[in-house]
Amino acid sequence: MKGEKIISKVDRYKCKEGNRNNENNEFYENKGNSDNKRNGENKVNSENKRSGENKENSEGKGQEAANAVSNTGENEAMELIDEMGQQEKVQKEKEQQVIEQQETEIEIEGLRVQLQEARAKCDEYFNMLQRVAAEFDNYKKRTQREKETYRKEITCEIVASFIPVLDNLERALNAVVPGCDANSIREGIELVYSQFCEILGSLGVEPIKCVGEKFDPNLHDAVMHINDEAYGENVVVEELRKGYMVEDRVIRHSMVKVAN
């Protein structure tokens, strides 16, 4: 558009220049007629020739100017197109940056929400862990107190079971006087022993069977070995100390003599 305006101005300049040359020709032609027709004709021819040359020069210069203006317009148009392309490219880059920034902000906001949710869960689990730890600590203390209570109760029950035995032993001791019959003392001791065994039986305590049984290291503790063909191999032939057990749990192993 700018190049077309410049070319239009050049065309108007060429028209004005041509009109001016025509006026000069008419002036010289009229003057020649008044002075001398022949000289006027020669002069007119000379002037016409000169005017033609000037017109050609003027037209040549106008064409050159038009070409120069056209080239200038084309260059300016190309520069304008390049500038518009650069501006469009910059605009697209800015729009892309804005889009990327918005996407980044959305992603950051999503991560922020996830972080808040994770922190909330962490706080919840931490509080839960603290409550469980406190409850477990209380449970340990409570079970320890209960164990102590059970132990005391069981001890009291066992001691209460043996107190009558202690009473009978005291009576037997008080009954022993100089000149006392030995059989009476034996009967008193047997009575106390029988009572003691009854109390153990009531508590579930039973003696371990030994003599004539196959040696069992889970029940017996062999302290002596003999070679006797009258007994089978690894058979208990004598009990040196009684062993006891409660149901299937050994309280004390029996000390025995074993035949090889």
Q: What is the DSSP letter of 181?
A: -
Sign of CA dihedral 228, 232, 238, 240: positive
Please provide the average confidence, as pLDDT, over all residues in the chain.
77
3-class state of residue 243 by DSSP: coil
Supply the pTM of this predicted model: 0.44
CB atoms within 10 A of CB 149: 10
Higher pLDDT, 135 or 41: 135
In CATH, what is the architecture of 159-259? Roll (2.30)
Nearest to 56 by CA among 28, 27, 17: 17
Report yes or no: 239 and 255 within 8 Å, Cβ to Cβ: yes
Helices 2-35 and 37-175 meet at what angle, rounded to 10?
170
| Cα separations in angstroms, 128 against 75, 124, 135 | 78, 6, 10
Higher pLDDT, 49 or 76: 76
State how far the Cα of 154 lies from the Cα of 141, in Å rounded to an integer.
20
Chain center to CA of 237: 71
State how far the Cα of 178 lies from the Cα of 174, in Å rounded to an integer.
11
| pLDDT at res. 59 | 52
What confidence tens digit (pLDDT) does each residue in 154-200 have?
888 888 888 888 888 888 777 777 777 777 778 888 888 888 888 88
